Structure 1
Amino acid sequence: MGKLYLVPTPIGNLKDITLRALEVLKQCDLVAAEDTRQSLKLLNHFEIRKPMLSYHQHNEQGKSDNIIEKLRENKIIALVTDAGTPGISDPGSVIVKKCIEENLDFEVLPGATATTTALVYSGLDTTKFLFRGFIPRENKERKPFMEEIKNCKETLIFYEAPHRLLNTLNFILESLGDRKIAICRELTKMHEEIIRGTLSEIIEHYNEKNPRGEYVLVIEGKTDEEIMEEAMKTWENLSIEEHILKYMGEGNSKKDSMKLVAKERGIPKSEVYKYSLEL
């Protein structure tokens, strides 16, 4: 039986390709590529000559079946994307699922990815992060997308194209507020650029400068201070008795409601208990 290799390719600097990736590309029978013209440049640079198959988001279903057939014919196939790791924000995940369903052998090689490179460059929290690829273009999809992530405490990571950058930044500012952000442009390439600041500062920067290249946006997650401020708005005009009743009305026991009130107000439970006696 054949084998499929998911082979990461450099995100800009060709020196970032791994020895293992080159070994697989030299030994495989076929290279399945997101853009054969782009991948041919990489293969030519390393003097590798292999038959190529186009495999992208517009032909993934039919081509996946074709790849499965060739794997059954004992072919060794290397799947590559234009840049980075196959399966991340591209149709590589489709063929992986099919290989699992068909019990066919595949191997994922480690290698270059813009996500973690940008995350470390950002200087933001790296202990927990959420990668969501490209933000939807249409407002009807964008709004629920932002509703889903606006309360996440994780550092947020997105990809964006230059012609949509300003529109996207303004939408994020409107949806998430003026958070810290790092804009990473043309990672590992000659004109690599990292700009850090608040969303409003970055928008002002790009209002005066035409965006060029591929971008990774790394945005601060919701802070504990923001969460506390928002929570405070829900009870700052309530008395302690009303605050307890609010939580009891949400289905909490009186005891649990008292604990929640004490925690939110930063006061001893014994003080809250005195007010609860009158309820």
Structure 2
Amino acid sequence: MNNKIFVIGTPIGNLKDISLRALETLKEVDIILCEDTRVSFKLLSHYDIKDKKLISYHKFNEKEITNKIIEYFNSGHKIALISDAGMPKISDPGFSLIKKCNELKINLEIIPGPTAFVSSFVISPFEGSFTFLGFLKDKSSQRIKQLKELNEGIYIIYVSPHKLIATINDLELVFKEKIKIFLSKEITKLYEKHYYGNAKEILEQLPESIKGEYTLCFKYENEKIKKEKVNKYQKFSKF
């Protein structure tokens, strides 16, 4: 194994969704940087990966300990970076270390794995390019302002369960009937479920108790503008 830092994707739910190369690498490294060591321990134990130094590397400490990680690397330790689920840096920790490695020209090797927003988009009824926004702003007023700045297109966001209803209400307030929503719950897990419709229809389908992890795709299409463009073209085509 060459002297490099490995950035590894892990399952987003189903523990079987991990590559052979990811498992081989996790077995060979000395140090594994984990978003939450308790979560990562379950994955590692499932595949009988033992005797590894697990270091907590999360959004609250990644800037502070990045230099320490580089020291470990320079002393010859083999290091892997993982998050609780999916790919590091995608709404997860990892940016500080990856940025530092690029600055110092330290070799990085990516071992890809599943990503929730890609998985949700693939099975959605939407087609074309999209923009991933990650998590929207926490406060409703901030979210509304953020949404009003969007142009037509397809967007994907992550939504925590306690903000799901409020976020859908904000989408309806801003876009009215001009959007369609595809909502995914617990992708690859036992209670995986998907919803499709406008904002009101989605709210009607949701259970009273909102639990789990959600990925929300929405397509914003201003039909009024499209009709105006068509009419202008048709009028021009008469000449």
Q: Any conservation in 2 of the 1:136–1:142 contact (CA below 8 Å)?
A: yes
| Match in the other structure for 1:222 | 221
Correspondence for 1:76: 78
Correspondence list, 1:32-181, <5 A:
32-49=33-50, 50-125=52-127, 127-149=128-150, 151-153=151-153, 155-178=154-177, 179-181=179-181
Distance 2:60 2:116 in 1: 23
Q: Describe the shift of the 1:200–1:105 C-alpha distance in structure 2 as closer, same or farther (beyond 3 A).
A: same
Change (3 A) 1:226 1:270: closer
Task: Say whether 1:191 aligns with 2:159.
Answer: no
**Secondary structure of the corresponding residue to residue 177 of structure 1:** helix
Normalized against structure 1, the TM-score is what?
0.79
Q: Which residue of 2 aligns with 1:250?
A: none
Task: Measure the CA separation in 2 of the matches of 1:220 and 1:156.
Answer: 6
Structure 2 unaligned spans of 5+: none
TM-score normalised to structure 2 length: 0.92
Letter in 2 for 1:14: L
User: Deviations for 1:138-192, whole angstroms, at most 9, x for unmatched residues?
Assistant: 245323321222x232x21111111111011101111122321111001001111
* Matched letter for residue 70 of structure 2: I
Give me the whole-angstrom Cα distance separating, in 2, the residues matched to 1:40 and 1:270. 70
Gaps of 5+ in 1: 233-260, 272-279
Amino acid at match of 1:212: K
Shift of the 211–98 alpha-carbon distance from structure 1 to 2, 3 Å rule, reads same
Tell me if the contact between 1:262 and 1:268 (Cα under 8 Å) persists in the aligned partners: no
> Would you say the 8 A contact 2:195–2:205 is kept in 1?
no
Alpha carbons of 1:31 and 1:226: their partners in 2 closer, same or farther (altered >3 Å)? farther
Superposed CA deviations along residues 56-89 of structure 1, whole A, max 9, x for unmatched, are 1100101211111111112211111110011111
Amino acid at match of 2:14: N
* Higher relative contact order, structure no. (Cα contacts within 8 Å, ≥ 6 residues apart): 2
- 2-structure distance, mates of 1:168, 1:268: 42
Determine what percentage of the aligned residue pairs are the same residue.
38
Q: Which residue of 2 aligns with 1:205?
A: 205
CA distance in 2 between counterparts of 1:68 and 1:144 reads 40
Contact 1:3 1:75 survives alignment (8 Å): no
Q: Distance in 2 between matches of 1:58 and 1:116?
A: 26
Superimposed CA distance per residue, residues 189-243 of structure 1 (whole angstroms, 9 cap, x where no aligned partner):
111111111111011223x5321110000111325x34325xx4xxxxxxxxxxx
Give the CA deviation at 1:31: 0.4
Other structure's SS at 1:216 match: strand
Structure-1 separation of matches of 2:80 and 2:23: 10
- Counterpart of 1:267 in 2: which secondary structure? helix
Q: Which amino acid aligns with 1:59?
A: N
Q: CA deviation at 1:121?
A: 1.6
Distance in structure 2 (CA, Å) of the matches to 1:58 and 1:9: 21
**Separation in 2, partners of 1:106, 1:226:** 48
In structure 1, distance between residues paired with 2:184 and 2:142: 25
Change (3 A) 1:264 1:96: farther
- Mark the structure with the bigger radius of gyration: 1
RMSD: 2.0
Secondary structure of the residue that 2:190 maps to in structure 1?
coil
Q: Distance in 1 between matches of 2:160 and 2:224?
A: 30
